[in-house]
Structure 1
Amino acid sequence: MSSKKFTKWVDKKNYTTCFKIIQKYYIYVDEGQSNIFLKKDLLPLLIKRLFLVFINLFRFNQNPYKKYLGSNNPSQFFKRIFGLYKLEISGLMPENPIFTPLQFKEEASPVVSIIIAVHNHLNHTYNCLKSILANTQNVGYEIIIVNDCSSDGTASFLKEVSHIKYLENTENLGFLKSCNKASAFAKGKYLCFLNNDTQVQPDWLYQMLAVFNNDKETGLVGSKLIYPYGLLQEAGGLIDHLGNPANFGKYQNPDLWTFNYLRQTDYCSGASILLAKADFDLLMGFDERYAPAYYEDTDLCMAIRYQLNKKVYYQPLSHVIHFEGISSGKTVKRGSIKEYQQINAQKFKDKWADVLGTFSPELSHEAAAGKFNRSNTVLFIDVTLPTYDKDSGSRRIFELLKIFRSLNFNVVFLPHDGLRTEPYFSALINLGIRVLYPEHFDKDIFQQLGEVLRKINIAWISRPELNQIYASLIKTNPSITWVYDTVDLHFIREERRLKLQGSITQTEIESVDRIMSEEIALAKQADVTIAITETEAEILNDKGARNVRVIPNVHIPYVGNTFPYKERSGICFIGGYYHTPNVDAVMWLTKEIMPLVWRDHPHIKLTIIGSHPTPEILKLESALVKVTGYVEDVTSYFTSSRIFVAPLRYGAGMKGKIGQSLEFSLPVITTDIGAEGMNLRHGHHVLIANTTEEIAYQIINLYYNETLWKHLASHSFSAIEKYAPDNISRQITQIFKSI
């Protein structure tokens, strides 16, 4: 075994061993067990861990005290040696914090009112508030704290916190009634109920709110709750047909993809939930039959779903660390508040008996977690997560994903590179799409794919190279409809590039022939082949491909404010510069076309927009040429430029940049290659020119001809009408109507 493979093997064994130790140890702790390290199922794991530590120390000559001590506390040293800190959450606030003044921003019109009921445990309350202050961005919020007769220093400290609403009970009301009391003082459109024994993580509240923004039928959203030692507490709650609740994923690895997609669920624990204040008021708050506490959150979720007919969601992107049991413990003791967990269980079952009677007797957690799933599932495979703001191919896939969701499909996305690149990962999760990715030392992407194939109805695979990689695995399940999405015909693009190049070698000819053979072979094997234009569909049909359908780019007209003709200036071009046709177009435009324009019109500036500009493009920067690189929001460029020019000399398929310009009613000058596949009429929708001189002439003509400019702008939307989501949705429905 090579040194690298051995190191990887040791790391994998070490991680999985530590995970099992942590899992078993904390289950025993929560059960109140004693002599935990002597348990028969734990002792062999501890010995294995010590052996792996020895290998690491011997192999890498490490100092065990330096690596594992972390402090002068012998207990911590041994816990580190035995791997109990292997999954610890980085950046947690200290158990005994140093208290410093906290100052929140005053919000006149908060979107969210965060309600926290407290009874003692000031250390946790302080850490909770400090985490909110540090990690709550992009949402206007207020904090309402109800002090339920604390006997420690809670009252004196909270009275000094700036810009919070502080309420003090004169008698102990308990969690439920304290929360109901606080809701009456809330100014926010939404209420967030948050336990004081939590530490929220970055964007926790923004991601909860995103669910409401994306699905108007949302009634309540709950966070992913994680124990401070790194295991999952809850990925949404489940209720069986007997009315028994359970935390889905408890004590599991929170990083597994199974727990990392937006999912409807039976309920979410009240440690961190968000709902509209209007809905909470309509239900008259938490049902006080459950006072002082327990089952009020489960009951609320049931009322949201079965009385208000709204959805309850688990949001995996909202991470909240929960120090469970700080206030009332983890085990039921006679006379303790925890005893209400048993008392209220029967009240809950009695209240919801009719609804529970409709639940399936299937007790499998996996089946229960998926009971709100849609009937059919489509798997998308592409090179990366769709970088919808960087290239037109990704924009097309992103819009198709949204269309499949609107058609009531479950959608699974597999990025071949295995990366959870942001913000694209979060964007897919918030659409309710499940993303497959390699799990830390657990399963590679092919193992995961193999496990989900039995649930797949359609496999939509982009690009010939990915179809060659994944088709054989897809075909192991003959019930899957295999869709080969060409994106564009690569061999057509290469043929055009070689013609432009001039001299062509035999090797280059053979390379194009090989690419064509591979693409045509795939088109003959797949159940459905997707072309992006009618032109390419005809080429595939002529070469014997079967069941070829056209699914083009998707375009949505911009409806915001734009500048009129006379207030606009300059020319723009956009593209991703990993794509060589875009590089060629920019160089031609800047080096040959624009000098003819600048000869008599030196004030016209050119802006080159797009990700990954090459060194040769960056060198074009001058007083007349601006190279922006990647721009997160390009709206201002499209609404203020006077002309969009795309002198594409080779390529294939639809050109997303042309459609994007038409979305903004920005008049376009392009070539036959640029206008290909969109049925664009010269002089009506766009201007088409193919030589250096013709394009330069059309730039000057359009730039100063207000009548022509307005004519083209007024017909932009009609040019892309057929590419609207509703029309593409109908085409997709027609293709898969039998599935």
Structure 2
Amino acid sequence: MQQKILIIGFVWPEPNSSGAGTRMIQLIELFLEQQWEITFASAVADSEFMFDVTSIGVKKVAIALNDSSFDAFLKDLNPTIVLFDRFIVEEQFGWRVAENCPNALRILDTIDLHTLRLARQKASKERKKFQTSDLFSDTAKREIASILRCDISLLISEIEIEILQKNFKIDPKILYYLPFLVDTIDEKTIENFPKFHERKDFIFIGNFLHEPNWNAVQFLKESIWPFIHEQLPEVSLLIYGAYPSQKVFQLHKPDERFLVFGRADNAAEVVKKARIVLAPVRFGAGAKGKLIEAMQCGTPSIATTIGAESMHGNLPWNGIIADDAQDIAKAAIQLYQEEALWHEAQQNGIEIINQRYSKSLFGFDFINHILSIQGIIEQHRMDNFMGAILLHHTLSSTKYMSRWIEEKNKKLT
């Protein structure tokens, strides 16, 4: 059967801005390899840095929120698979998909478990230790409901699958682990990595619209970099990231070698030139795109426990894991100066990529999983009766709220 996929994006994908954008392009490329027909739709305005999906053979369609024109669009397209980019998108459009294309397989790409990230963020801001009870929030009610309404939910972190099964009693049959999908690092790639002595400085890179990144930069500036700068006064810390605000640029201090550059034209190039990636992420969820990119560039990293969470399995880390500010600083200085330790860390990163993120290990199995669920979709949905209940009530409530908003908007125009 020729598959016709509709991807409804929270935003237009920006692979040069965020890990989420990179993830979306990886999924699109995987579907294109199957010669499946893909339409990417979003209700947000075009952005300056969005990837032109039409350049790789994907149809691009602008859609509207709370507008029945989407129903007509759906019926005309008649997709066999609909992929929602984050639970917020499923909330907005899931009921319309279920009503107009009931046979379409509904897939939710969680990106990261928002429930976990926001609970950790709240605990961090309140300066208290994160507890499991923090998970049971209003966000969790919304996100878990969205997961239950979908046929398959993609998780990028094994820890998150464990949380969903253990704490929220989610049936593992509707969950699917799918990490970042990248190319294997071969010998030729390794030979082309800049050598230890050809690299200099530390680097942090991350989208500043993502709160964990802004918090990490503040942590670096206030608590970590002063200690490193005292020990390595000729070394700089380069801060890169998409969508920096004025408050980010106010941290730029050349006399302290704390340098804020904003968006990198080519993230991989600046990461390859650096000797070490610093990523002191104090809260968050999912897998960190910046740390995957570091490994792909042969650049060791200093990460926190949360930063490296679920990323390396039983393999040794691509550098050093530390959480306390002084421990992070000491680890960074040691890794920066000791070439043998640096080479060992680089090799660890190569092994992590090749054993845990290689597209060849996961892509084919995921495609087969989609096809197998499509083959038993009725039974699959009956086994997820709680999801059917939630979908029924969503159709009975969200549907009419959306219709009311649509009518109200008509009167205002």
Task: Give TM-score, length-normalised by structure 2.
Answer: 0.81
Gaps of 5+ in 2: 375-413
2:151 counterpart of 1:530: no
2:30 counterpart of 1:407: no
After superposition, what is the alpha-carbon deviation per residue over 1:300-332, rounded to whole angstroms, capped at 9, x for unaligned? xxxxxxxxxxxxxxxxxxxxxxxxxxxxxxxxx
TM-aligned CA distance change 1:686 to 1:511, over 3 Å? closer
**How many angstroms apart in 1 are the aligned matches of 2:223 and 2:69?**
47
Counterpart of 2:108 (choices 471, 484, 491) is: 484
Match for 1:406: what amino acid?
E
Match for 2:120: what amino acid?
R
Counterpart of 1:730 (choices 359, 364, 382) is: 364
The Cα shift of 1:685 comes to 2.9
**How many angstroms apart in 2 are the aligned matches of 1:399 and 1:716?**
20
Task: Give TM-score, length-normalised by structure 1.
Answer: 0.46
Counterpart of 1:577 (choices 197, 201, 208) is: 208
2:76 counterpart of 1:449: no
**How many angstroms apart in 1 are the aligned matches of 2:310 and 2:145?**
23
The Cα shift of 1:448 comes to 5.4
TM-aligned CA distance change 1:511 to 1:707, over 3 Å? closer
Q: Which residue of 2 aligns with 1:651?
A: 284
Structure whose CA Rg is larger: 1
Higher helix share: 2
Q: Is the 8 A contact 2:14 2:51 kept in 1?
A: no
Q: Which residue of 1 aligns with 2:57?
A: 432
**How many angstroms apart in 1 are the aligned matches of 2:134 and 2:315?**
36
Count of aligned positions: 356
TM-aligned CA distance change 1:687 to 1:612, over 3 Å? same
After superposition, what is the alpha-carbon deviation per residue over 1:180-201, rounded to whole angstroms, capped at 9, x for unaligned? xxxxxxxxxxxxxxxxxxxxxx
Q: Which residue of 2 aligns with 1:390?
A: 17
TM-aligned CA distance change 1:567 to 1:510, over 3 Å? closer
Q: Is the 8 A contact 1:682 1:688 kept in 2?
A: no
Q: Which residue of 2 aligns with 1:95?
A: none
After superposition, residues 466-485 of structure 1 pair within 5 angstroms as: 466-476=89-99, 477-485=101-109
Q: Which residue of 2 aligns with 1:460?
A: 83
The Cα shift of 1:468 comes to 0.6
1:378 partner SS: strand
After superposition, what is the alpha-carbon deviation per residue over 1:538-582, rounded to whole angstroms, capped at 9, x for unaligned? 222231323111111223367383321112110001100000100
The Cα shift of 1:382 comes to 1.5
Q: Which residue of 1 aligns with 2:164?
A: 540
2:333 counterpart of 1:700: yes
Q: Is the 8 A contact 1:573 1:607 kept in 2?
A: yes
2:238 partner SS: strand
The Cα shift of 1:480 comes to 0.5
2:224 counterpart of 1:593: yes
**How many angstroms apart in 2 are the aligned matches of 1:621 and 1:680?**
36
1:494 partner SS: helix
After superposition, what is the alpha-carbon deviation per residue over 1:353-374, rounded to whole angstroms, capped at 9, x for unaligned? xxxxxxxxxxxxxxxxxxxxx8
TM-aligned CA distance change 1:448 to 1:625, over 3 Å? farther
**How many angstroms apart in 1 are the aligned matches of 2:258 and 2:271?**
16
- Superposed CA RMSD: 2.3
TM-aligned CA distance change 1:604 to 1:557, over 3 Å? farther
Q: Is the 8 A contact 1:562 1:640 kept in 2?
A: no
**How many angstroms apart in 1 are the aligned matches of 2:126 and 2:72?**
47
Amino-acid identity (%): 24
**How many angstroms apart in 1 are the aligned matches of 2:151 and 2:134?**
28
TM-aligned CA distance change 1:474 to 1:389, over 3 Å? same
**How many angstroms apart in 2 are the aligned matches of 1:583 and 1:572?**
14
After superposition, what is the alpha-carbon deviation per residue over 1:514-551, rounded to whole angstroms, capped at 9, x for unaligned? 11111111222211111111111122223132311111
Q: Is the 8 A contact 1:571 1:606 kept in 2?
A: yes
**How many angstroms apart in 1 are the aligned matches of 2:253 and 2:157?**
37
Deviates more, 1:388-397 or 1:540-549: 540-549
Q: Is the 8 A contact 2:3 2:37 kept in 1?
A: yes
1:435 partner SS: strand
TM-aligned CA distance change 1:424 to 1:695, over 3 Å? same
**How many angstroms apart in 1 are the aligned matches of 2:282 and 2:48?**
33
2:329 partner SS: helix
**How many angstroms apart in 2 are the aligned matches of 1:693 and 1:557?**
35
**How many angstroms apart in 1 are the aligned matches of 2:32 and 2:303?**
34
**How many angstroms apart in 2 are the aligned matches of 1:603 and 1:583?**
25
Match for 2:291: what amino acid?
I
